[in-house]
Structure 1
Amino acid sequence: MQDLKDKVAVVFAASGEIAGAVARSFSQHGAKVYVTARNMDFVKALAKEINANGGQAEAAQVDALNETEIDNCLKKVVADTGRLDIIFNGIGVSYSEMGDRLPTTVATFEQFMAPMEKICGSQFLTSRVAAKYMIQTQSEGTILLLTAALSRSKLPNLAGITAASAAIEGLTRVMSAEWGKDGIKVICVCAGALMETNRISGWINAAAKQYGIPVEQLIAQYKAFDILKMSPTLKQLGDTAAFLASDTGVAFNSHVVDVDCGKLNIL
């Protein structure tokens, strides 16, 4: 399928497994993809893989928390192609950056704010710079943000990451309202726990060790809420992102799109 033929996409934090899967899917659907991250070696390898599989990709070193680097990257993309159709920011936090699951009465203000600054702050920066260039080039593009199902969960000792996840969803609605007049759609992808990712397996292993619970028990507790008794894959998430960025996906705007195969415990 070539749903994104002739589109130009930029993927931030592409060294992560989710963003990497999205970049591959964008390419498979016909887009030219610029893959960026702080780790230049990783995105060079990703671009090489995409090109070897018949896609079009270029790599760039960009810190998705540095507005100057974001702006310079997108300025070059527009200079090279004359347009900017899609961005996706897959920035995430490690288990320790989630606050180590400290009780809210114990966590410091800095620990609470760390996920807000990193994940919500980065989404704010990449989105607003992208919008500026989409408006300038009249690209009428798609801005895809990433959040976590924690935004609508009730789990203890995760105040910072939960608040940051909910903030990203609110930011999505505000930006879609601001930029809709310029034909820009803003959508938030809410990923369920992707068991094949290192981040989720690391979180499960660390939590199991902290609480003295077998890893298998934690996995079973999470999967007990699966409506279809199955979990989403990285490829499914990537293909969902490609659909949302396509012309057919225009029906989705300002929405939070859950990619979790349905969960009983998520509103």
Structure 2
Amino acid sequence: MLLENKTAVIYGAGGAIGGAVARTFAREGAKVFLSGRTLGKVERVAKEIVAAGGTATAFQVDALDEEAVESHVATVFKSSGRLDVSFNAITPIPQPGTQGIPIAQLSVDSFTAPITAYMRSHFLTARAAARRMAGQGSGVLLMHTPEPARLGAALVGGMGPAWAAMEALNRNLSAEFGARGVRAICLRSTGMPETETIEVVFGLHASAMGIPREQFLGFIESLTHRKRSSKLSEVADMAAFLVSDRGSGMTGTVANLTGGLIVD
């Protein structure tokens, strides 16, 4: 197993991406500590993992709350004696009111909300984890962004700049902590129709363009080499590989899972 004897913290574990990665990490042998703002959703994922033979514990944690994040990481570290992976998969703000609106029509607050929220959360979770990882001389900080982090895209408001800032933070974390054994990696995928979030986002964009949601999805997928979107399983499997010892050569970079939508 790729992650045997590893300890992983996953924020937003009740969501589609966080849950998929949590299940894959557990399947590969990791002990996973799951958190989210809605405890019921996180507990359901933890129960599925345990039923499949894995080890999982659920916590209610607001990843925008500094005290809550620090307390949670301290609890995990005390329990396990180490922290090997920290993955932040939260969606900190709702999409309606921030996407699908021409940028000239956005209020200042609507534009800056995702930038502030994403940066605050990823800074808090990365800082809390990196402090422990640097002390033990190893660990991986993991995050996920969609393609507008790199490509210019209309009607995404402050989301595109927020995701681009996450990728910049990823590089900076690697530069600061790499010499102490801590890696920082970002997964970049297309939007995934398997997730509730992208269903909402595609609907907002399709409505703004006056076309059916299915037509908008078809247009996005036509831009990829494979003519399809990224899959949750592909993102989760790549996450497990990259945070494992087999991915040790990767840090300060973005793993491109866009299927050719972005060509490096």
Instruction: Please indicate the TM-score interval, normalised by the length of the shorter structure.
Output: over 0.9
Deviations 1:139-168 (CA, angstroms, capped at 9, x unpaired): 500010122211112222323001101101
Report what 1:161 is aligned to: 159
The residue number in structure 2 matching 1:116 is: 115
Structure 1 range deviating more: 115-124 or 203-212? 203-212
| Residue in structure 2 matched with residue 26 of structure 1 by the alignment | 25
State the identity %: 36
**1:72 pairs with 2:63:** no
* Inter-partner Cα distance in structure 1 for 2:88 and 2:166: 12
CA distance in 2, matches of 1:161, 1:266: 21
Superposition CA RMSD, Å: 1.5
Cα offset for 1:41? Answer: 1.0
Alignment of 1:1-267 (within 5 A): 2-92=1-91, 93-96=93-96, 99-136=98-135, 138-263=136-261
In structure 1, C-alpha distance between the alignment counterparts of 2:130 and 2:192, rounded to whole Å: 29
Q: Distance in 1 between matches of 2:46 and 2:210?
A: 41
Deviation at 1:215, TM superposition (A): 2.1
Preserved CA contact (<8 Å) 1:143 1:184? yes
CA apart distance, 1:46: 0.9
TM-score when scaled to structure 2?
0.95
Matched pairs, number = 263
The AA in structure 2 aligned to 1:207 is H
Normalised TM-score (structure 1): 0.94
Does the 8 Å CA contact 2:99/2:204 hold for their aligned counterparts?
A: no
Paired residues of 2:99 and 2:157 also in contact (CA < 8 A): no
Quote the Cα distance in structure 1 between the aligned partners of 2:218 and 2:184: 34
Contact 1:147/1:188, CA 8 A, preserved across alignment: yes
Task: Name the aligned partner's letter for residue 163 of structure 1.
Answer: P
| SS of match in other structure, 2:234 | helix
Task: Work out the CA distance in 2 between the residues paired with 1:220 and 1:101.
Answer: 17
Q: d(CA) in 2 for partners of 1:122 and 1:111? A: 17
8 Å CA contact retained: 1:149, 1:266 = no
Q: Deviations over 1:8-67 (max 9, x none)?
A: 000001121101101001001100000100111111111111000010000011001011
Long gaps (5+) in structure 1: none
Deviates more, 1:223-232 or 1:13-22: 223-232
8 Å Cα contact 2:5-2:30 kept in structure 1: yes
Q: State the shift of 1:266 in Å.
A: 5.7
| Structure 2 residues without counterparts, runs of 5 or longer | none
Tell me, what secondary structure is at the counterpart of 1:251?
coil
C-alpha distance in 1, partners of 2:76/2:67?
14
Q: Contact 2:139–2:183 at 8 Å: present in 1 too? A: yes
Counterpart-to-counterpart distance in 1, 2:138 and 2:106: 42
Partners of 2:257 and 2:12 in 1: CA distance: 19
Paired with 2:213 and 2:155, the residues of 1 have a C-alpha distance of 19
Q: Which moved more, 1:223-232 or 1:123-132?
A: 223-232
In 2, the alpha carbon distance for the partners of 1:151 and 1:5 equals 32
Counterpart code for 2:4: K
Q: Is the 8 A contact 2:96 2:204 kept in 1?
A: no
Equivalent residues of 1:149, 1:192 under 8 A apart: yes
Tell me the CA shift for residue 205 of structure 1: 2.1
Contact 1:153 1:266 in 2 (8 A): no
